[in-house]
Structure 1
């Protein structure tokens, strides 16, 4: 490979690293200044990366953010098995502490992918969240937990042209509505939903974060409405505690 191609690849990686490290999108001028790149080179890189969906451009604000392809690469890494293996004991602990079915899920585009689950002994309840199942992230508690940790630019990249599928009469139908829900999730530190994925089922979830504080996954519990053994806030404390332990284990602390 020629030295010019290696240099271009290094610059692409630098752009991705920079955008991933920022909560808010950046202008092309800010990117050029941060990376000490010529303005023309920066614009060329961004245009090529936009074509491949690694970055997203917001003309109204003249800013750039990570695109959907960048998010999908992160999700693909998590599906290699490391996260699933690391989460096994934490799911077992969560089910033991709450007596409910527990799940581990990651974001995949605008969906969540369920990687693992644990059911309490003697449970006769069959949920739709089997391992390998994909569901719209905006409808699920695990999905909302992850989405709440993304920046505004990332959310817009995912949902600006989204069709907002629904599974029940309980729905979110716009980015503005989702943003309001995610604001509440951030304030509470956990997400809950009742009947938005399956009628008669309610869920509580919390994010699992990496060493940089960004969500890499979410764990949660699901139960039949009306059978909840404790208030949602009490169950959320259990979910958050296990999610924090999982996060610390991933960080090696």
Structure 2
């Protein structure tokens, strides 16, 4: 006879199992993984969907992590360990490029800036600690979104109503965003030019550590003579450093 599984335990098992899957999975796989009958698993998944911890993709008959689960992960990323690990590498990045750098994490359809290193003599930016900006407009957000499974991106941006604009530039539809993220994946880094603040450009690289959804970015004035390839290489090096530190933890 199977021993009953407390609801709280089953919920945590679902979250842990789904967090380890590269794509949404059928309910039958969830049931097998957590050791519950399929009928009970369906009821549990439905309850978790109501609280946004799970997303149901009816066309594919699969289930994946929802916004609520991301918010819990982001809450961890906002805490001191991530900022402490990133502070010195970001300061070195600023010393190298002489432009401001920041670290952002995904929070639903926004990015939340958890650390910023301001370059001396450079203009103030909107990307201060604690500020949220639309992920699809920022280099940091695009870098992170490009690492997500496509069904999760579709869930975040189901139609044109999910898109906002700050400067009348940037993707306005799921198709435009899909094409932009595809280009970002091919390049291995994200860019934006005047879509957050007119006259400023950014380059970002996402971290690969599975514990966070975060990206390192550098922002500079568009009128400044800057080597884009040098910026990309420096940002990639910093992101790789943070990945090593996070994996080591």
How far apart, CA to CA, are the structure 2 residues paired with 1:191 and 1:163?
Answer: 20
Q: TM-score, normalised by structure 2?
A: 0.92
C-alpha contact 2:167 2:197 (8 A) present in aligned 1: yes
Task: For structure 2, list consecutive stretches of 5 or more residues without a partner in the other structure.
Answer: none
Give the SS at the match of 2:76. Answer: helix
Among candidates 130, 133, 136, match of residue 132 of structure 1: 130
1:153 aligned to which of 151, 173, 185: 151
User: Which residue pairs with 1:245 in the alignment?
Assistant: 241
Is 1:217–2:214 an aligned residue pair? yes
CA displacement, residues 199-239 of structure 1 (integer Å, 9 cap, x when unaligned) = 111000111232x3x65311110011121421x23311110
Asked if the contact 1:146–1:215 (Cα under 8 Å) also holds between the matched residues in 2, the reply is: no
Residues 1-253 of structure 1: matches in 2 within 5 Å?
A: 7-123=6-122, 125-160=123-158, 162-210=161-209, 212=210, 215-230=212-227, 232-252=228-248
2:148 partner SS? coil
* Structure 1: stretches of 5+ with no match in the other structure: none
Aligned 8 A contact 1:68 1:157 in 2: no
Maintained 8 Å contact 2:184/2:190 = yes
TM-score by length of 1: 0.91
**Contact in 1 for aligned 2:189/2:232 (Cα 8 Å):** yes
Backbone CA RMSD of aligned residues: 1.8
Q: 2: CA distance between counterparts of 1:187 and 1:215?
A: 21
Q: Secondary structure at the match of 2:7?
A: helix
Q: CA deviation at 1:145?
A: 1.1
